[in-house]
Structure formats: C-alpha cells, structure tokens
Amino acid sequence: MKRVIALFCLIAFALSGCAGGDIAIKENVFVNQADIDDTYDVIVYASEPEGVAAAVSAARNGMKTLLLSEDGALGGLMTLGELNFIDMCEGRDGTSLVEGIFREFYDMVGGSAFDITEAKNAFLALCENEDNLTLRTESHLAAPIMDGDELLGVKMRETDGEKSYYAKVIIDASADADLAALSGVPYTFAGEDIGEKDRQMGVTLVFELSGVDWGKVYRYLNFARLKAEIKHTAGGMGATAKMAWGYTDEGYGYEPHDSLMRLRGFNLARQDDGTVLVNALIIFGADVLDEESKAEAIARGQKELAYIIPYLRENCKGFANASLKATAPQLYVRESRHIIGEYQLTIDDVLENRDCWDKIAIGSYPVDVQPTAQQTYGTVVGNPDRYAIPYRSIVPLEVENLLVVGRSASYKSLAAGSARVIPIGMAEGEAAGAAAAYAVNNSVTVREIAYDKTAVASIQATLKAQGAYLEDFDLPEEIMSHWAYDGVKTLRALGLLDGGYDNNYYLEEPMGKWRYQNMLNGVLNKAGIAHDYIEVNDNVPARQVIGTAARAAAGFVGVKNPDDFEGYKAWLLGEGILTDELMPYFAESEAAPESDAVIMLCANLYKYLLAHGARGVQID
C-alpha cells in the first residue's frame, strides 16, 4: 500500500507536465596530437565504455596507456549506438553492485538515462583528466603484431597512414572481440555452444523523435502502473522525468512491413533538447560481423520507420505529434563472439548466485534472451540476485599478453544474456586496467595472475581502493534444494527451460502439451539426433510421456521394446532413464504427471543419449 500511495503522490506532483529547460549541450571535440610515442605499458583497443574504464584504470595505476578509438567520439554503444538507458546491476536488497569508474560516469551524466552529448563529453573528460593516458581517435585496426602466441602490439590505419603501437599488455574492449579473434583466440558465435549457432539475438536501431508530449507519456504510464499495483497484476511500465518504459501491447501490436523486423515494448529516454530516444525496433537477418550487412540493416530499419511513425501517432498516447528526427549511427548489437578463456561463466554460475575466489566484478541482471529470427518473442531464463565475474573470464586462451572485456568476454551464451550489460563490462575494464598494472610492475603475465591467489588478492584490494564493490556473498536460491533441480539445471543449460523474472519453473504443475513437445523434441535436437517432430495429446498422460521417451531412446540405440505402458517403464528403468525415485510419478497411465518428474525424465534421457554415442551439446 505504501508503494501505491507513493506512486500516486508522484503522479499527482507531475500532473502539470514534465517540461524541463530543453537546452541542447555542446559537444566537446577531441583533436589527435600530431606525433605520439609508439611504445606503452598498456594499450586498450576500442573506446566502448568498457575500454574507457580500462584505460582510465590503467593510467590511474601508473601505466603509460594508449587508448585507440575507431570512432571520432568515445562511448561506442552508449553514444553512437545511443543505448542511453542503463541496465543497472542491483541486488534484491537494493545494493548497488557496480561502483568505481562506472559510478563516476553515472554521476557525471546524472543517472541511468542521459543525454548522448553529455555522455560523449563525460567519457572524454574521464580520459583527458589522466596525465598517463594518450588518446587516439579515428584509428582503425589493421592487424595484430604477433611473435608466436605472444601479442606484442597492433597495426592501425590512421589518416596519415599505417602506424604500429607496442605494449606489454593489451586489452581488447571492442564489442565483438575483433582484436582477440584476429590474434587467434578461440571463440563460439551466438548460441553455438548450445547447438544454435544461427540463433542470434536481433539487433536494435534506436531512433530519435521530436514532438513527443512527455507529460502525457508520464501520466499514461504511471497511471497504468498505479492500476496494476492496485489490482496486484504485472506492471512493466512507468516513467520518470527522463526515462520511461512500457507501451508493450502497442509495440507488439504493430504489423511490420519487413518480415525480418518487429516492434516490442518501448524503452524511452528524454534528451536535454526535449527529443526522445526510442529503443524498441528489433531487426533480424543482420550479419553483425560484416559492416555492409549492418549498414543494410540500418537502411531497412529507416525504411520501416516510415510506417512505424504514423502507427505511433495513431496508437500511442503522447505521440500524436511525433516525427522522426534521426536514427543512431550504429546498431545496438547484443551478441556475437563469445571468446573462450581460462574460465567460461555458465548459466549455473549466474542463476545459483555463485561467488568465486578471483572475482573482479559482481553482476545482477535478468538472463534476457531477446527475440531471434527463429523465435520472435524473447525469453527470460532466470533472474539472479548477484553473481561473481572471475578474473579468469577475461584471460583468453592461446594468446599471451591479452585481456578481453565486455560482452564478448569468456561467457557461455546463456550466461551472456545477463553478463553482457555495460556496467558489468565497465567493472571488468577497470579490473583489467588494474591487472595490467600488476603484471607490468611485477614482471608476470596476465595469465600467470589467473592462478596466483596473492596476485588476485592484490588486484582486488586495488579495485576496492578505487571504489569497486567486491563483497563476499553466499545466497543460494530456494530452487536448488528441490529434488528435481538436477533436471532443471540440465535442461536450462541446454536452453530448453526458463524460469522467468521470478525463477518459477512451475515444477508442481501438470506437464502441458506444448511444453512437453518443446522439451522432448528439444532434447533430441540438442543430442544431434535426426527425428520426426513428436506430438502428444492436449492433456499429456503418463503413458504418452513414457512411450515417447522410450521409443526415442530405444530407436537411437537400435533395440525394440514391448509396445505397452508397463513394458516401456520396465525398459526405461533398466536403462536408468526412469529411476526408482521417478516411478511413483508415472504409476497411473492416464494421469497427468507433474512437470518436475517429466523434467527429470527428459534430463535423464539426454544424458543417456550422450552416454550412448550421441554427439550433442556437452553440458558442464
């Protein structure tokens, strides 16, 4: 009730509107020095937010540092992709989990929704305030400089020709780990690690509107939220003076003209000049590692906006006078490469709230898998309280003197659904800068640090002194004590089971038709087994669950078993797919079994298929 009253008071306070000064900020422009050195302690490639954090951290730790930016302005996704609605990382108790340099930036721009020009100026100021930091813009990666497996430097294309720069430690902060990939670091792409290489989350083209009535937006979304609070139904909408989220029904109600495109619920951020940035347009079919394909996707998005803007005027409160001002210069890309490092963060690390001895950052964000061309509605795999990012996850395999930070760090693809957010990447960048300084000062490699507890403890102490939040924690989830949790873990790691924002797997509910079909067919697909699509009745009885599982397993190993319920059960029990613990859940042939028992059965089936030669996705 207190929340409802507070929200009502907030709305009442703003009934007169939310108009501010609407004054545009002037952008500060950086000009490269004519001549700079070619040798440094630390080079940071790419000026994404993670790269700025890494360079500033290295410089503050006494390193002669070079930050190489492909772009003329700093900030990458936040400024050129115009993703200015920050995905914050907070524990369930409200603890802010990412501090340090990220917090400095956050305070400089005034919160989690900010003006793009102000952000460009803030990133530039962070760099220009460091005497040990040299910045080079419009510097494009040509090739790594290698000596065997050692990365010694980088060749860059600049306006006055090709330049070579050398350093003892190099940090790749590019969104797609381009330098790491060119240097020979192994990686997977998109969902390749779970057998879905072609499953790439859609990209977003952020667009800018003028003429939006922010007062109407504010009142509409907050009154809708108030009604949801009173009725105890899901809200999912709201607004402040600078940011808003909602219009979910309106977004999904749009019928795109381009079939490889869709609109979803809106994230809105108000700029200082009164315009509004909209993050809502999902585009499929773009090769995010190909510049021409990305340019084509932007052009397709701009073409679709000719239809979207009239739809918004007609259907979205506050948008009656909206008009398109511009689109972001770059796409918002959510995933591409996932490099393979000394450790790969897993979905269990994230959703079991795991701490680790070598943590360099603590994250917390829902495992948000956005729509793909194959599945045009996204999903939330689960929602952690908090989890640790190991130092080992920024140390790539097979290449020396290199650290990789940001969304392409060493995460499994499902874990990346949470760990990809910028605050976590900036915390990693800050840690990489401190680790690089430790390596240089102590004449050790960044890989040696990964197995030296004294070195890691020293780096952690440095980060804490810089303001980082790295407190220990022990926060097991309730689901972990459930008898069927091993099955949950198995299917979840395969991408076949989602818990949503409330981590509810509906284990005690009867297994439904579509859920079971997706689960069973998914298990066979993940195991790499060719098969016809298996269908069952609407109210799935135990006999169908047992029969379909038995026929799938027996067909794979090349045996024929009795074609009846009891015969199937006996064979599955003998093979270890059905266990004594599960038998009571499948006692009655026509009864609908609970989901927990079916999940365990499907998990056992998958493990059986792998044990008998299926060449499918390996699970940790």
**Is residue 544 a contact partner of residue 601, using CB atoms and an 8 Å limit?**
no
**Is residue 391 a contact partner of residue 449, using CB atoms and an 8 Å limit?**
yes
Task: Give the pLDDT score at 6.
Answer: 47
Which of the residue ranges 22-36, 215-229, 351-365, 525-539 has the most confident prediction, judged by mean pLDDT? Answer: 351-365
- DSSP β-bridge partners for residue 6: none
Mean pLDDT value of segment 174-193: 97
Split at pLDDT 50, 70, 90, the class of 619 is confident
- Joined together, the tokens standing for residue 93 give 């108790």
Task: Give the pLDDT score at 16.
Answer: 43
pLDDT single digits (tens) 414-444: 999 999 999 999 999 999 999 999 999 999 9
On the question of pLDDT at 341 being above 50, the answer is: yes
Which residues does 8 contact at the CB level (< 8 Å), separation at least 6?
226
On the question of pLDDT at 8 being above 60, the answer is: no
pTM of the model: 0.94
Split at pLDDT 50, 70, 90, the class of 29 is confident
**Which is nearest to 523 in space by CA: 386, 450, 616?**
616
Measured from the Cβ of residue 472, the count of other Cβ atoms closer than 10 Å reads 9
Percentage of residues in the chain with pLDDT exceeding 90? 87
- DSSP β-bridge partners for residue 162: 157
- Joined together, the tokens standing for residue 165 give 């720069």
On the question of pLDDT at 7 being above 60, the answer is: no
Split at pLDDT 50, 70, 90, the class of 116 is very high
**Is residue 467 a contact partner of residue 97, using CB atoms and an 8 Å limit?**
no
Split at pLDDT 50, 70, 90, the class of 235 is low
Mean pLDDT value of segment 264-281: 96
Amino acid at 603: A
Which residues does 83 contact at the CB level (< 8 Å), separation at least 6?
77, 206, 279, 332, 422
**Is residue 42 a contact partner of residue 173, using CB atoms and an 8 Å limit?**
no
First to last CA, the chain: 44
Residue showing tokens 């040990």 = 132
CA distance 165 to 248: 48
Task: Give the pLDDT score at 4.
Answer: 44
CA distance 559 to 553: 9
pLDDT single digits (tens) 509-557: 999 999 999 999 999 999 999 999 999 998 899 999 999 999 999 999 9
Split at pLDDT 50, 70, 90, the class of 562 is confident
